[in-house]
Amino acid sequence: MSPGRPKGVIILCVRVALGGALLGAGVVKMADPVAFVGAIESYALTPQSWNQPIAALLPWLEVLTGGLLLCGLWTRSSALVAAGMLICFVGAMGINLARGADVDCGCFGPGLGDLPLWASMVRTSLLLAAAVLLLRERQDPWLSVDRALRAEASGAPREPAAVSSHASAATSRSSS
């Protein structure tokens, strides 16, 4: 087993988990936009007139970002967008927690799992950590379109790339 394999597997799992979570959350919100407007309203952070536009745009962004992460296309850029959204979500939950308002998270539709807000905030924070991890990962992830495109462009075989990246790191260390 190459030294890069465990890390590659972890990154793959993180990418699939984050992508799946965002895609699922977006689809559920798209399916019931009225409930999502209600969820945004319950956070009481935005003017009433903003709630519908936010409810219209956010699920699309989640589905798009989640889909890209699952495919591994533009992975780091998708992770950056995901991180931006998740920071907003954590902030919104944090403000309501500080207010003492135990609103329904609304993350995956109304009342899913009946998690208290603090638990939803922890879950969202974990997703945020996953997004940051993907953002910091500069190698093309395994089983990704990014990696396939890169391999095709360079004509290099796909699997040895993980080994070659370590060779590159070793070369880099020896040269410095």
Partner 1 sequence: MIVDGTAARSESRDRDRAPGRLLFKAVLIVVVGVAGGTVFHAATAGQAFTGPSPPGEIVSLAQARTAIDDHSTVFLDARRLVAYEEGHIPGARSLPLYEFEQAVERAMVGVSRSTAIITYCEGVSCDSAARLAVRLVRAGYRNIRAFPQGWEAWRAAGYPARGGQTP
Which residues in 1-30 contact partner 1 (CB under 8 A)? none
Q: Based on CB atoms, which residue is closest to partner 1, 11 or 81? A: 81
Distances (CA, A) of 83 to 19, 35, 130: 12, 24, 9
Three-state secondary-structure class, residue 107: strand
Site string for partner 1, 68-107 (x = CB under 8 A): x-----x-xxx-xx--x--------------xxxxxx-x-
Amino acid residing at 2: S
Q: Check: CB of residue 83 under 8 Å from CB of residue 131.
A: yes
- Point out which span in 1-9, 31-39, 86-94, 121-129 binds partner 1 (CB under 8 A): 31-39
Site string for partner 1, 41-60 (x = CB under 8 A): xx-x---xx--xx-xxxxxx
Could you give the CA distance from residue 110 to residue 113 in angstroms, rounded to a whole number?
9
Q: Check: CB of residue 147 under 8 Å from CB of residue 21.
A: no
Does 129 bind partner 1 (CB under 8 A)? Our answer is no
- Point out which span in 1-9, 11-19, 37-45, 117-125 binds partner 1 (CB under 8 A): 37-45
DSSP letter, residue 141 = P
Closest C-alpha among 20, 21, 35, 23 to residue 110: 35
Least distance from partner 1 to the Cβ atom of residue 16, Å: 18
- CB neighbour list of residue 126: distance below 8 Å, 6 or more residues apart: none
Q: Which residues bind partner 1 (CB under 8 A)?
A: 33-35, 37-39, 41-42, 44, 48-49, 52-53, 55-61, 63-65, 68, 74, 76-78, 80-81, 84, 99-104, 106, 110-111, 114, 138-139, 150, 154, 156, 160-161, 163-165, 167-168, 170-172
